[in-house]
Each structure stands twice: as structure tokens, then as C-alpha cells.
Chain A
């Protein structure tokens, strides 16, 4: 079955009683047992809830994984994955990863005895060098990375992970399973902030984990139930509803993003554009090989911070807000928002500086978006 069909049929209810097309929102905490020792398969909604289950099944099918798990936020999903590890374990992580992930590594998991090395995962030799024999347990990769859109070769990095017996965890938020399915390239676990493209309407916080093996499914299922960072039924339903239009949205959004990236690349005020859909992007070819499209996220550099602030303050249609992936175009200032928690020395080193802006391109008419950028950038 083609992915568009799986998406349109996500959560298509097979409720024999009513025939309802849309999965009901099971707003229940618990379930009555037919008799002692007999269960309907549903005991308590933290453990399993039918609405959440419909979303979890859809995610497993879309990412071609063993099982899916839905969490209260993308960070709750990532936290659940990190709970797989123990004190003393070491992880290698993409160096320009989302600030929220950086924050929990540095401020919470470090205190619990996990150690982390940040590396440019687009360069396999740097990853290899960061491995501490016996202690390194996993790689955590974003491709494209946030916000610099660096591309990691999924096939190469998972091969390295396998040869070194490391788990390969991929944050696939920017691409979605519509464009990229890391498990097919040998990844072990895929995480998403479902708040972004999966939900797609800036109206729900959610996270998902999809596992590549039954063994990992058991472990993540145990963590989800025990630590309880589960997604609520209403929110599960909203993400399912969002999935139905994922293909349409992404197609339109990346079409707009390509045009905006090309327009920006021609603009004299723009020093650099980071979008893997531009042939000059260093990861263009690798990305093309592993994904069905370039997505709708891009970053660009302007002459200085005054320019960055001017564009933010003068844009009218484009909304200045944190987040991405929705139908509305958002502009984000990474140094002050998404990556504000990363110390300035590290930000400078990897290139997240105050002249950098990130765009999440929506489904508005592209000419209106370009016009808005044009007026915001006018002298």
C-alpha cells in the first residue's frame, strides 16, 4: 500500500457497533473487566487507550516499525528513549540538535550519570572518534539537523552503529515518514515531535516513538507505562486527524519552501541559505538518496543581528513564534528561542549565531510569503 493511502486511512475506525469512520475519543481512565482474570485487552488508559492505540498503530505502519508509542510531547518521547540507558552509559549526539534535547542531556541525565559527546554526525569519522569502547551505547541523530540542516548519511551511520553495537536513534521530526523512513536504512528507533508536521496545525503537543524490533518495543512499552508520559485521548485523535492530510501539506509546504529558498539565495541581504533542496547544499545528494523530498524547513543568514530583528519585527504574515511544521508559516530566532539553552561558546562554534533565522514554511500562497519577506527586508 502506498503511503498516501496509509495516511488517509490512519485511525480509520473498524468499530463494528457503529461503523463510525473516525476513531472515537475514549475519554476514560479505566475499563470494566468482564470477570476476574478476564480482560477486554484494555485495563487502564495509561497502559493502553483505544484512541491512543489507533495513533500508535498508524505510526508503526508509517515508519515501517514494530510498534508505535505516543507521548505527551516530543520531549516526553525522547525522555522515554533515554530511559533505556543506565548510569555510566555514553551517547553520541548531533551537535546542532534541538535545544530542548540538549537541555535534558546537560541538566538532568548528566546528574543521573549519563554522558554525552556532541559531534557533527554528518561526518562518520568524527562519530567514530567519539566512541568510548564499552561505554558508548547509542547514536542520536537529527537529519536534517535543526537549525543548520546538516545531512547525515543514514545508511553509513547505521552501518557504523551496527558494527560498533550501538543503537541508532533518529529524530525524524523535520522529514516525517512521508519523506524519510530511517528504520528502512537500519535505524533502531525513530522519534518525533508530533506537535510539528504529524499534527500539522499548531494545535496539539505530542511525541511518538517507533521501534525497529520486538525487543525494543517491550522495553519502550514498559517505560511508557511505568513513567506515564502518555498522550491524552483528545490529543491522540487530533494527531490522527492531522496525519490524514500529511501528504498534501508536505507537498505544498516543500514546494513553497523550495521557491522561498531559491528567492533567498538570490537576495543580496542574505549571506547564506541552508536548505537541502538547493543543489549547492553540501548534503543535497545524500539527502536525495535517502528521502523523497527536502521538507519545508530552512534557515538563512542575514548581515547581522539588527537585520535579523528587523525582519522578525516587520514581518506581517509570517508569524514570529517558536515551533514548526504547521500550516501557518513561522519565523524563529534560534539563538533566543529553540537553541537559547545551548551555551553561547558552543552555539558560536557550530554556527548558531545571532544573524541566523529559521523558517517553517506553511501552506499560504508562496507569492504572499515572498512579498512579506521582501517588505520586511526592504531598506
Chain B
């Protein structure tokens, strides 16, 4: 079965009792038990809920994993996955990681004795150099947010395996439609499902997928123990969003490419960051590990005044936090997604105040371009 078909036809989603094509929204918190000694499949919705289970099975199928877990947000997914670590453990994370992930590593897990080294993973030797005897986990993001840096997932994973580290990757930007890191040897995939998986800017959700039974049982323990699970209505909305994942990703990527090419030709644009452009430093690598380039791109303008002018003048683009929805969103990393990273550190990473991030939606690309053009 081709991937596009599998998105719609997998083992979940059909209601076995009625044949309904859409799984019912099970709002029940608890389930009647028939036998004291043999608990039923569902006991309590924090531990297992049929609607959430349908979503989790779909997520596992999409990422070619064996186990998936749905959380109340992408950050709940990330923090619950990191909670399998112990006091004294060390994490190596990509330098321009999402601001929220940076924040929990540097402000929460650090309190519990877990240290992190942030390195530029486009140079694989940086990973090797950062490894210590207590290193336990390699945390990748590729392409990274917001500068779309590409990490060689296969080779980074090989280094991790050599040193017995767990590899975890944030696959939010690509979605499983374009990139399936478990196939490249990664152990854990996380998503902010709020973005491309949901796709409609109408639900906050997170996902964790793995194909390791032992990691799965540890992650499930935290999901059930910490209880940051996704509500049934939101699980259903994600399932609904996923049905159009292929159509959306194809269309959004096509427009992103057109916009990137147009930006590239503008005199007031100093840099364009989109891995689909042949001169992007990660272009060859992404072609080897993904089937597309996604629909998020960033660019720098010649002056900060120009950046601000664009943000003031756009009408079609929503100036907002988040990405991945059918509506195009323009965001300003220094004040939004990466505000949690200290200014000096941001500057060093190239997240400057003339940087704009675009999440391209389903509008007509020519309308989106016209709306960005300062000459209009």
C-alpha cells in the first residue's frame, strides 16, 4: 500500500460496533469492569481511551513505528519523553532547537540534575566532541527551527548508537509525510501535532512515536503517571486533520518553493533559508533522507525597519505564533518562538531581529507573494 493510501486506511479509525467511518469521541473518564481479576481493555481514560488509541495507532502507522502516545501539547510530549532520564544524565541537543525545548532543558531538567550541551549538528564532529561518559540522549531537530539547518539523521544516529545514546528527533517541520526518522535508525520521534499533523490551527497536541518496546514502556509509564494526555475531542480533531496530510503537505510545499524562489530574487532580501533551494547547505542531505522540503522557510531582510514594515503591512499572512496550518502564518522568532533563548545566544545562532519565519498555507501562492512584496 502506498503511503498516501495508508494515511487514510490503517487499522484504526473505524468503529467496530457500528462501522462508522469516523471513530466516536469517547468522553468517558472510566469504564465498567466485568471481572475483579481480569480488568478490561480500558479501565480509566488517562491509562487508555478508545479515541486516543485510534489516534495513537494512526501516528504509529504514519511514522513506521510500533508504539505512539498522544499528549496535551508538543511540549508535554517533549517533557514526558525527557522524563525517562535520571538525575546525573547528560543530553546533547541541537543548538537552534525550538525555544520551548531549550527552556525545559535549561530551566527544568537542569534542576533535576540533567545537564545539556547544545551543539551545531550540521557538523557531526561536534556531536562526538560533546559526548561524555554520562551522555544518554541525542536530541535532534531537522530541519531546525527557525534557520532550517539540516542534520544528517542517519550519520548522527550512527554516532549515537556507537556511544549507546538514545536518539530523539523533533519531526514537526517535515511531518511523517516527508520524513520518517525511525526508518533512519532514530529511536524516538516527537511532534508538535498542533502544526502539520493537525493542520488547521485549531488544536494543541503532541505525539511521541517509537519502535522500541523498552522505550515504549518507559514513555507509556510517564504518559500514564504524569497524565499530560490529549483530550478525546482533540484526538478526534487530529485524526480528522491527518486525513488530508498528503494533500496539504504537497500543496503547501509547492507554494513554499515558489515563495522561496521569489524571495531569492528580491534585492531587499539578504538571505533565504529553505532546504528546497539548491544552494541551501543542507539541500543534498535532505534529499537523501526526506521526500520533500516542507512548507516552512525563513528569510532576512536588508534592514530591521523593512522587517517591521512587512509585519505591519501584511494582510493575508497572520502575524502569529505557530505554524503548519492551512492559513499562512508569519512569525518573528526573536519575539515569539525563540524569545526564551537569551539575546546573546540568539545572536550567536543567527536568530537576528531582521529574521522572519513563514509557514506557508493553502492560499494561492501569487496572493501570498503580492502580500509580502514591499512594493505593493
**Interface residue ranges, A against B (CB under 8 Å):** 27-33, 35-37, 43-46, 49, 71-76, 79, 83, 85-87, 100, 103-104, 107-108, 111-114, 195, 199, 202-205, 207, 223, 226-232, 234-235, 238, 309, 312-313, 319-323, 326, 330, 333, 336-337
Which residue of A32, A37, A75, A323 is within 8 Å of B320 (Cβ)? A32
A330 to B33 Cα, complex, angstroms: 11
Q: A73 touching B227 by the CB < 8 A rule?
A: yes
Taking the closest CB of chain B, its distance from the CB of A192, in whole angstroms, is 13
Which residue of A114, A195, A229 is within 8 Å of B72 (Cβ)? A229
User: Is B112 interfacial (CB-CB < 8 Å)?
Assistant: yes
Q: B87 touching A320 by the CB < 8 A rule?
A: no
Q: A29 touching B104 by the CB < 8 A rule?
A: no
Q: Which A residues lie within 8 Å of B222 (CB)?
A: 108
Q: Can you list 20 A-B pairs with a CB-CB distance of less than 8 A?
A: A29-B198, A30-B329, A72-B72, A72-B76, A73-B227, A73-B229, A74-B227, A75-B227, A86-B112, A107-B221, A107-B225, A226-B104, A226-B108, A227-B228, A228-B100, A228-B228, A232-B233, A312-B36, A320-B32, A321-B33
Q: Which 4 A-B pairs have the closest CB atoms?
A: A75-B227, A228-B75, A229-B228, A228-B73
Which residue of A28, A36, A230 is within 8 Å of B319 (Cβ)? A36
User: Is B234 interfacial (CB-CB < 8 Å)?
Assistant: yes
Q: A79-B227, A232-B233 are in contact. Are A35 and B321 (CB under 8 A)?
A: no
Interface of A is mostly: loop
- Smallest CB gap from A78: residue in B: B227
Residue from the set B36, B104, B226 with the largest chain A CB neighbour count within 10 Å? B226
The proximity string for B residues 218-243 relative to A, scoring 1 for CB distances below 8 Å and 0 otherwise, is: 00011001111111011001000000
Which residue of B87, B237, B312, B320 is within 8 Å of A112 (Cβ)? B87
Q: A229-B76, A232-B231 are in contact. Are A320 and B36 (CB under 8 A)?
A: yes
Given contacts A32-B320, A73-B228, A112-B86, 20 further A-B contacts (CB under 8 A): A29-B194, A30-B320, A35-B319, A37-B335, A46-B204, A100-B225, A100-B227, A199-B29, A202-B28, A202-B29, A203-B27, A204-B231, A205-B231, A227-B79, A228-B72, A228-B76, A229-B71, A232-B233, A309-B36, A323-B44
- Smallest CB gap from A310: residue in B: B36
Residue from the set A107, A204, A207, A231 with the largest chain B CB neighbour count within 10 Å? A204
Q: Which B residues lie within 8 Å of A230 (CB)?
A: 72-73, 76, 204
Q: Which B residues lie within 8 Å of A333 (CB)?
A: 36
A27 to B240 Cα, complex, angstroms: 14
Q: Which B residues lie within 8 Å of A46 (CB)?
A: 73, 75, 204
- Smallest CB gap from A229: residue in B: B228
A111 to B320 Cα, complex, angstroms: 38
Q: A322 touching B228 by the CB < 8 A rule?
A: no
User: Is B261 interfacial (CB-CB < 8 Å)?
Assistant: no
A44 to B85 Cα, complex, angstroms: 28
Q: A31 touching B112 by the CB < 8 A rule?
A: no
Q: Which A residues lie within 8 Å of B229 (CB)?
A: 72-73, 76, 205
Taking the closest CB of chain A, its distance from the CB of B320, in whole angstroms, is 5
Q: B30 touching A202 by the CB < 8 A rule?
A: yes
The proximity string for B residues 353-368 relative to A, scoring 1 for CB distances below 8 Å and 0 otherwise, is: 0000000000000000
